[in-house]
Every structure is written in C-alpha cells, then in structure tokens.
Structure 1
Amino acid sequence: MELRVFTEPQQGATYDDLLAVARTAEDLGYGAFFRSDHYLGMGTEGLPGPTDAWITLAGLARDTSSIRLGTLMTSATFRYPGPLAISVAQVDQMSGGRVELGIGAGWYEREHTAYGVPFPATGERFDRLEESLAVITGLWGTPAGERFDFEGEHYRLSDSPALPKPVQSPRPPVLIGGKGKKRTPALAARYADEFNVPFDGIEQTRVLFERVRAACADEGRHPSSLTYSNALVLCCGDTEAEIARRAAAIGRDVDELRENGLAGTPDEVAEKIGRYAAAGSQRIYLQMLDLGDLDHLELVAEKVMPQL
C-alpha cells in the first residue's frame, strides 16, 4: 500500500504553503504530492485566492527532486485538450518524468460561472472528457516525426506535429475516478492507468472497483493492468485530544471522520487502510486539509507507514 498526499488549495493556500507540504512529503517518503484543480473555495473565501493546478505543479517540478506530482482531478472543462497535453508534457520534462494526469468531467458549476468558464450539461461534459482523453493520449502516443489528426464533435485537430513529448514512456500515467455506473468505468477501462474512488466506504469501493474490472473485460483489457486507489480525509492523532484538535481545525466531527475518513490513532488508521487494501485498494490519497499542520504528515510517516 502506497500513501500519497492530496491537497485542496482552493480552500486557502499560497504556492509557498504547497511547496512546504510537497517538500515535507518528499522528505518523509510519501509516494506523491497531488492537488485538486479548482478555482473557487467551498464554504470559505479561500484567501488569498486560488492557485492554478498546472502552474503550481510546474513550480514544484523544479522545487522538488523525487516525489511524484499530479492532479485529482484536472477539469476537462478548464482547458482545451491540445494545450493541456502540451502543458502536462512540459511539466513532465521539467520534473524529470514525475507527473501524473488525473482528469475528470468537472462538476462545480459555481466556479465556472465565477470565472467565465462554460459549464455544459452532464452528458456534454462527459463527451468532452472522452474526446479530451482521446486527443491527449493520441498526441502523446504519436511517434516523433508523424502527425496526429482527430475529428470529434467538440474538438478537431488537423496535421498536428504532436509535440512536445513527455519524458515518461509511453506516457505519464492517466487517472480517472468517480462513482458513475457506466461511462466512468468505460473511460477508465479504455484510457486510464489508475482508477480512483473518492471519499467512499469500503463496501462501495468494492462495488466501484468491480464495475471497472467488468468494463476492462468488455474492453479486452486485463483488470490487473490498472492500479486501484482511494482518496480519504486524514485526521490522525496520538491522543483523543489531538484527534479532536485536528478535526476542529478542518471543521469536521471526529465520529463522522472515523466513519467516513481515516481518523483515529495511528493504529486505527493503519487498520482501516488494511481493510481498504483487502477490498482491492493499492494506493491511498490522504486528503490533508490543514496545510500548516506538517506534524500530521510526520506522525503518519512514523507510526502508520511502518504498519502497512
């Protein structure tokens, strides 16, 4: 089981805040630093304001040396797929091949209206996501010196040189996640290297993983060729007082977090991670909401990681 750090900078963070978390995670042996891709805080003003996901990761690509970097999830509504393929490939080059692209259809309408981004109906957003995946992977997969063409309903590319190429071969890993019954599993089976279940329980995780495995069978792909993962809120402490303090700092209830997240003592957290592993999860993204609490990451590294 690999542990990764997952942040929500739209809730309030500067680049320096994120750099401190990423460097701490790197020093402590976490597998990756991921961030959300949002432009509007949720239940907060998010001061001093949002930071762009791929600009952040470009900076971290130069300011870190070994930790992997990625998004949960880049919104396909925010960027045209051709320029996004260029951005991700460039950040992959800047990092020496440490980038992963999590991408989704987008869901938060308010941030779209706040910043003038079109927000189509659900069906069209998934259509655009599907075409984006075809374009991005197609551009990366086109051999150097050849050209890429694509004719979709929403995106059309003609005689593209399909440059630049990422460092990673055949491409940076692509992550798809969610709880959809049909299109999400089908897209994961067709395009993803990893399928992620966000903020759900163990039994539902089993159900969602099984849907993706069935979609892989339909696609003629072996289900074990994907990595299966979860994203869960972290609230760990050595004592009940410490757990309560960390829950209060993120505006959550301890009992609710014990039920729906990874909350409790290091032994409790390790035991629950073990139950997710038994359900098929190979990787956990620890949602760290209090970015100033670097001791939280140190506690998990010292007392949870060794048990996994």
Structure 2
Amino acid sequence: MDLRIFTEPQQGAHYDDLLRVARCAEDAGYDAFFRSDHYLSMGAGDGMPGPTDAWTTLAGLARETSRIRLGTLMSSATFRLPGPLAITVAQVDQMSGGRVELGIGTGWYAAEHSAYGIPFPSLKERFDRFAEQLAIITGLWGTPEGQRFSFDGEYYQVADSPALPKPVQDGGPPVILGGAGATRTPALAARYAAEMNTPFLGMEAAARQFERADAERAADRPPLRRSAALVVCVGKDEKSLRRRAEFLGRGLDDLRTNGLAGTPAEVVDTIGRWRERTGISRLYLQLLDLSDVDQVELIAADVRPQL
C-alpha cells in the first residue's frame, strides 16, 4: 500500500511550509507528496498569506527533493490551456528526473474563478473542454520526437505542433482522474488515466466508482490503479487525537467514520477494510495542519510498516 501526503495550501501556506512537509515525507519514506490546485481558501480561516501556484510550487520541490514523487490532486482544467499545461508538466518532470504525476479534473469551485477572473462555464461545457484537454495533453506527450501533433476540437485546435518538450517518463507522467460523477468521470478515467481516485467517499461509493471505470476500460489497457483520498487524524492516544480533531473542527466519531482517524492500530485496521472492499493500493492522506510534521512521522513509524 502506497501512502502519500496530500496538502491543501490554499488554506494558508508559504512555499517553505510545503517544502518542510515534502522533505519530512521524503525522509520518512512516503511514496509521494501531493498538493491541491486551488486559488481560494474554503471554510474557516482567511487563507493567509494567500495562494501558491501548484505547478510553480512543484517545480521548486522538484529541485529540492530527490526521491519522492510529486503531483496535483487535482489541477483544474479551467485554470490553464492544454498546450501550455502539457509543456509545464513536462518541464517539471524533467526538473524532477521523472517523478511527476498529473491529477486533473474539470474544476468545481466557482468562487475562486470569480475571485481571480477565470472563466467558469457550465458543467457540461467544463466536461466537454476537459475531454479535449486530456486528448491534447496525452497526445502531445505521446507524439514521437520528430513527428507533429494536430487536434481539431470544438473548443481547442492544435495545428502541426512539434509536441515539445518531452517528459522524462515514457509516454508522459501518469494521469490521475477522480471524482464522484457516475458517467463521464469513470469513462474519461478509463480512456486516459493510469489511476482512478475517489476523493473523500465512503467505501461503498468508492467501490462502485471503481467498478464503473473498470467496465469502461479497454481490454488491452493495463488495469486502472485504484486510490482514495481521506482526511487523516492519527494519534498515539485519545488526548493527541482530540487535539488534532479540534484543529480540523471535526468530531472524532465523524472522523473515524468518514476519514482515516484513530490510533495507529485503528488506522491499520481501517486501511485493511478499505483494501479488502475496494481494492485500493494507494492512499492520499489529507494533512490539513502543515505544522504537524509529528503526525507525518508517527504514521510513517507506526502505521506504514504494518501495511
């Protein structure tokens, strides 16, 4: 079971905060460090000192880490044009020595779009654009050197592109798609993704989503990797658990039911039930308190070795 640290820096973080957590995760043996791609805080808090750009951050981390994989969960397709995004991700892949993964979705948070002047079309149009973006990004990465790539869609047209630069990873960085949509999300994941992620869903809903994607997957494609994202709250005892739950503004009973919470032994048991019911082989642990590197180290020491 891969364990990945997943952060939400739009809630308030400097680059140095993210670097500290990424280096801690790398030193502790985690598989990857991921971050969200948002420009506005959500819920309580003022989001100070303000947002950090996801791919600028990952470019910096690519040069300041050496082993851990890096990526987004999820980049919003509304934020960037597909050609420039393919270039950016390919360049960060080069900068990291081939350690980058692209989690990408339609975009959903209307308020951040209006706050920063980003167009936010209807859900149908966002999905239509998203499908074209996936075709373009994967097409550019998959075009052999010396050949050209073209695409003629309703929203995007690419003419005679040299399809450069090339990522380090053959065929391009792994693409991660996810969400709860029952139709287009699993169909697009089946066509374009290496991994299907279920964000903050229960086990039964996650299992159904994986089954939908598998039903759409072509027989000659490798199986989709299954993963889940869950908020994490782990403590050696009830006192530390309650302290961490208070920071999250959630009750422990709620976190135990709808997240990954409890003592290390409890969490190992929960992960085992997730693996048995859904077939996941990767977990993204949503770490909301970026100052709590002790929890990162605790999970690495007392949970990961038991998986």
TM-score (norm 1): 0.98
What are the residue-to-residue correspondences of 1:293-308 with 2, within 5 Å? 293-308=292-307
Alignment of 1:51-62 (within 5 A): 51-62=52-63
Partner of 1:112: 113
What CA distance in whole angstroms lies between the structure 1 residues aligned with 2:34 and 2:187?
A: 24
Mapped to 2, the partners of 1:109 and 1:180 lie a distance apart of 18
- Structure 1 runs (4+) deviating above 3 angstroms are 219-222
The offset of 1:205, in angstroms, is: 1.4
Partner of 1:31: 31
Distance 1:213 1:253 in 2: 35
For residue 45 of structure 1, report the CA deviation from its aligned partner.
1.4
Question: What count of residue pairs does the alignment treat as equivalent?
Answer: 305
The Cα shift of 1:220 comes to 3.7
Output the CA distance in 1 between the equivalents of 2:197 and 2:252. Answer: 24
CA distance in 1, matches of 2:86, 2:123: 23
Q: Aligned partner of 2:248: which letter? A: I
Please, which runs of 5 or more residues in structure 1 have no aligned partner? none
Helix, strand or coil at the partner of 2:257:
helix
Q: What is the distance in 2 between the residues matched to 1:172 and 1:117?
A: 26
Alignment partner of 1:235 out of 211, 233, 236: 233
SS in 1 for 2:229: strand
Alpha-carbon distance between aligned partners in 2 of 1:11 and 1:195, rounded to the nearest angstrom = 25
Alignment correspondent of 1:208: 209
Task: Tell me how far 1:189 sits from its aligned partner.
Answer: 0.5
What does 1:87-236 correspond to in 2, within 5 Å? 87-216=88-217, 219-222=218-221, 225-236=223-234
Give yes or no for contact 1:176–1:188 (8 Å, CA) kept in 2.
yes
The answer to which of 70-79 and 41-50 deviates more is 41-50
Is the contact made by 1:104 and 1:129 (CA closer than 8 Å) also made in structure 2? Answer: yes
User: Residue 75 of structure 1 corresponds to which residue in structure 2?
Assistant: 76
How far apart are the structure 1 equivalents of 2:180 and 2:219?
22
Aligned equivalent of 2:268: 270
Partner amino acid, structure 1, of 2:234: C
Cα distance between partner residues in 1 of 2:220 and 2:180: 20
Which SS does the other structure have where 1:225 is aligned?
Answer: coil
Distance 1:232 1:42 in 2: 17
Q: How many Å apart are 1:215 and its aligned residue?
A: 1.2
Question: What is the SS of the residue equivalent to 1:287?
Answer: strand
User: How far apart are 1:226 and its partner, in Å?
Assistant: 1.3
1:252 aligned residue: 250
How far 1:253 moved relative to its partner? 1.3
Inter-partner Cα distance in structure 1 for 2:132 and 2:215: 22
Distance 1:39 1:252 in 2: 24
- How much does 1:225 deviate? 2.1
Q: Distance in 2 between matches of 1:71 and 1:139?
A: 19
SS in 2 for 1:286: strand
Structure-2 separation of matches of 1:53 and 1:250: 23
Q: Which amino acid aligns with 1:283?
A: R
The residue number in structure 2 matching 1:281 is: 280
Letter in 1 for 2:204: E
Deviation at 1:221, TM superposition (A): 4.3
Amino acid at match of 1:191: Y
TM-fit CA distance, 1:24: 0.2
* Residues in 1 aligned to 2:233 and 2:257: alpha-carbon distance in whole angstroms: 12
Name whichever of 197-206 and 80-89 sits farther off. Answer: 197-206
